[in-house]
Chains A and B, each alone.
Chain A
Amino acid sequence: MNSAQRPQETEVCIIGAGAAGGIIAAELGRSGVDVVVLEAGPRHDFTQRADYTRRFVKGENPWKTPLAGLDVHSTDGDIPYNLEWRRARGVGGSTLHWEGYTLRFDASDFRLHSLYGIADDWPISYDDLEPYYGRAEAALGVAGADDDPAASFRSTPFPLPAFPLSYTDAMFAQACEQLGIATQILPQARNSKAYGGRLQCRACGTCHVCPTGAKASVDLTHIQQAEATGKVRIIPDVSALRLEADRNRVDGVIYATHDKVEHRVSAGIYVVAAGAVETPRLLLRSASVDSPGGLANDSGFVGKRFMLHPSVDVVGRMREKVYPYRVGFSTMMAREFARHRERARHGAFFLEFMNFAGGTPGRIAALSGKSGKALQQHVQTEFGHSVRIRAFCEQLPDWGNSVSLSHRKNDYFGNPAPHITLSLGQYERDTLREAEKTTRSILAAMGAEGIHASRFDYSGHQLGTHRMGEDPRTSVVDPNLQVHGISNLYLVGGGSFVTSTASPPTLTIAALAIRAADHIRSQ
């Protein structure tokens, strides 16, 4: 590896231009702070979205990292967790391909230990985060309705009106009502009307690639504005290799371009926002004589307690057509199981009522083994009857689940790839079983036939590997996401979560990022 000649200097260096890094860059840039952002993936030109959509419809992943050697990883444990489709590299990070669901956590989510005697409490409360939730909702453009009497207090209304419920939502809602289950409109960072210089959603049905930009992604909601300040410089297609530091202070970050030439950035403050897999990997790779177990790892918690959301889909068939695939996102949820009182017995789960279920004509045709007129008739008969509910389940922090450095695989630069160890405990299995039982009962009440559950799956919500806390012995960052004992290093993103909750994490990642930006600014 060659070394570059001239180090760059800036006030703040951010590693990662995703949800957390992009938001912090915009917040600081607006305040006149000089920022350099290093991003491992490319800058995805918005004008390419039509082509990306075509590729997605053909079953490809247009967000796949072009340089395949960057994405290698090894796995261990019960679950061979594959990162492809579960994260996106590039300016915008995983918000490029996320579903856009933006739920605030419930106040009880921050106090699992106090309320239920399980896991740990967060060092901050819902009330601490509430104003930042409001700011994050405004920045991302969240459409929703204040229709949940049990929801935690909110000081600001949703910035956008809710999306209307779908045709199948009415069927789901009726069944839920029979069973005494409350349903709510699912809040999402997607324009129900034009907002923030972006168009209204046009139900293109390919939310993994939003062709219109109606779904919020930080490349559109924050990075453009950040660069427009003239204070923020994004450097795409570079990989941070290690942080140079003594015991109490980071001096620089070494990164490499694809030609394997090394460069250095020197900054007053460093923010690592590379996600719950890459952030601990970078810290562990930055081990030194002063920090032999990895930078910021005096507690031994770096990379530990990796969490995500195990999920299960339950599918049934209705006699009548239900017209799926006319919109690419879900519009209704049931949230009461995400804050239930039996949490000591099994975890929280969140139900998403899907507007896309069963095979598409392409899939039905491909699996049929038929051809000609019989095939055409088969597709016409089979398409459009399926209904599906997805349950996202809470996973408790477990020391055995972790991200470490691989001994088996190296990345493009010859450095140890991430190694993910992941298994489910009894608590999560009980949660999945309970969620499956509940969803089955809803589908049965709808009159669905042939009800069956998918195999367990796992979300792309990677959490918990540099958790926050007041005690430096049991956490990596403090409540402001500043590393204990290293005052110029912040670790942001889902890795700072203490528990996973059952809710999609991005709004909380965004709120915590804004809070961290305020703290950095105050310095």
Chain B
Amino acid sequence: MNRRQFLQAVSASILGAASLGLLWRSGLLQYLGWRMFVPRLDSDSSTGSLSADELETLVSFGEVLAKGSALSVEEREYLVEHIAYRTRNKPGYLSLYKLTARHLDHLAQGRFAKLDLGERSKMMISYRLTSSRIRAHEYLFTFHRNQLAIRRLAITDLISGFYRSPAGWALVGYTIFPGRCGDLIRYTEPESA
């Protein structure tokens, strides 16, 4: 390489790095990364039922996510009903939840559901499985694609499923809510009345 070629290579590298920096600052690079690498449900996959063990793993996972404390029998049933409905009716969820259960058991080196709530919580924190929020750069630079899919899709769905159920409404003080009929006076007064 002669001096001229060397200078050309250095200039190109600086220009390239500056361009990348500008794209990064503008958010365009993150957006493109998000578009390309964001996990999506496989809408062509089959629907069906999970095994009892898989369901138990997911409910144990949902318990930590939704409340961080033990769920009542009724609350667990709402979560079970939500997961079962999704896997039976919505393509993509059966494979997503099978993946999630398998991944959790793998991380737990055994049955995730057998861990007590504190251990589950600790493990989930250490593997960043407590939040669905994913920063744009993680889509570009994370190699644990399964983990990203679990965070983005499974965690969001378990949390929203729980809070959309009567259990979620109960936590904000509503025993009657959209989908459960009541009377025609309640909406005219404050809830405590």
Are B168 and A203 in contact (CB-based, < 8 A)? no
Does A326 interact with chain B (Cβ within 8 Å)? yes
Q: A164-B188, A361-B163 are in contact. Are A379 and B130 (CB under 8 A)?
A: no
> How distant is the Cα of A364 from the Cα of B164 in the complex, in angstroms?
10
A376-B181 CB under 8 A given contacts A323-B190, A366-B160: no
Q: Which residue of A lies closest to B66 (CB)?
A: A375
Q: Does A166 contact B (CB under 8 A)?
A: yes
In whole angstroms, what is the CA distance A386 to B177 when docked? 16
Check: B187 CB closer than 8 A to any chain A CB.
yes
29 contacts between A and B (CB under 8 A): A53-B179, A54-B179, A56-B179, A163-B184, A164-B188, A203-B183, A204-B179, A206-B179, A211-B181, A321-B190, A323-B190, A323-B191, A325-B177, A328-B178, A361-B168, A361-B171, A363-B160, A365-B66, A365-B163, A369-B131, A369-B132, A369-B133, A370-B131, A371-B155, A372-B65, A372-B130, A373-B67, A375-B66, A383-B172
Specify the chain A residue showing the minimal Cβ separation from B170: A361
Contacts A361-B164, A361-B169, A380-B171: A212 and B187 contacting too (C-beta < 8 A)? no
Q: Which residues of A contact B132 (CB under 8 A)?
A: 366, 369
Contact residues, B139-193 vs A (CB, 8 A): 155-156, 159-164, 168-169, 171-172, 174, 176-191
User: B121 interface residue, CB < 8 Å from A?
Assistant: yes
B16 at the interface (CB under 8 A from A): no
Q: A325-B177, A328-B178 are in contact. Are A360 and B184 (CB under 8 A)?
A: no
* Docked-complex contact B178 and A325, CB < 8 angstroms: yes
Residues of B with C-beta under 8 A to A293: none
Interface residues as binary, A59-87 with B (CB distance below 8 Å gives 1, 0 otherwise): 10000000000000000000000000000
Interface centre among B64, B161, B163 (most CB of A within 10 A): B163
Using A202-B183, A365-B66, A372-B66 as known contacts, list a sample of 7 further A-B pairs with CB atoms less than 8 Å apart, ordered by residue number in A. Answer: A54-B179, A57-B164, A202-B182, A321-B190, A326-B176, A326-B186, A365-B162
B21 contacts A by Cβ under 8 Å: no
Interface residues of A in 300-356 (CB under 8 A from B): 321, 323, 325-328, 355
- A371 & B131 in contact (Cβ 8 Å cutoff): yes
Residues of B within 8 Å of A323, CB to CB, are 187, 190-191
Tell yes or no: A200 within 8 A of B by CB. Answer: yes
- Contact surface of A with B, Cβ cutoff 8 Å: 53-54, 56-59, 163-167, 192, 200-206, 211-212, 321, 323, 325-328, 355, 360-366, 369-376, 379-380, 383-384
Contact yes or no, B187 A355, CB < 8 A: yes
Complex formed: what's the CA distance from A57 to B82 in Å?
Answer: 11
A58 touches B69 (CB 8 A): no
Residues of A close to B37: CB separation below 8 A: none
Contact indicator B65/A375 (Cβ below 8 Å): yes
Q: Is the CB of A202 within 8 A of B184?
A: yes
Distance between A30 CB and nearest chain B CB, rounded to angstroms: 32
B176: chain A residues at CB < 8 Å are: 203, 326
**Residues of chain B at the chain A interface (Cβ within 8 Å):** 64-69, 85, 121, 130-133, 155-156, 159-164, 168-169, 171-172, 174, 176-191
B160 touches A362 (CB 8 A): yes
Q: How far is the CB of B153 from chain A (nearest CB, A)?
A: 11
In the A-B complex, list the 8 residue pairs whose CB atoms are closest, starting with the nearest.
Answer: A372-B68, A369-B133, A362-B164, A205-B178, A366-B160, A365-B163, A202-B181, A327-B187
A485 to chain B, nearest CB (A): 49
Closest chain A CB from B189 CB (angstroms): 6
For B184, what are the chain A residues with a Cβ–Cβ distance below 8 Å?
Answer: 163-164, 192, 200-203
CB distance from B76 to the nearest CB of A (A): 16
Q: Which B residues are CB-close (under 8 A) to A200?
A: 184
CB distance from B82 to the nearest CB of A (A): 8
Residues of chain A with a CB closer than 8 A to B68's CB:
371-376
State the CA gap A237–B130 with chains docked (Å).
47
**Chain B residue with minimal CB distance to A323?**
B191
Q: Which residue of B lies closest to A201 (CB)?
A: B184
Residues of B within 8 A of A375 (CB): 65-68, 159
Q: In the complex, what distance in Å separates the CA atom of A374 from the CA atom of B65?
A: 10
Contact B168 A372, beta carbon cutoff 8 Å: no
CA–CA, A205 and B187, complex, Å: 10
User: For B188, what are the chain A residues with a Cβ–Cβ distance below 8 Å?
Assistant: 164-167
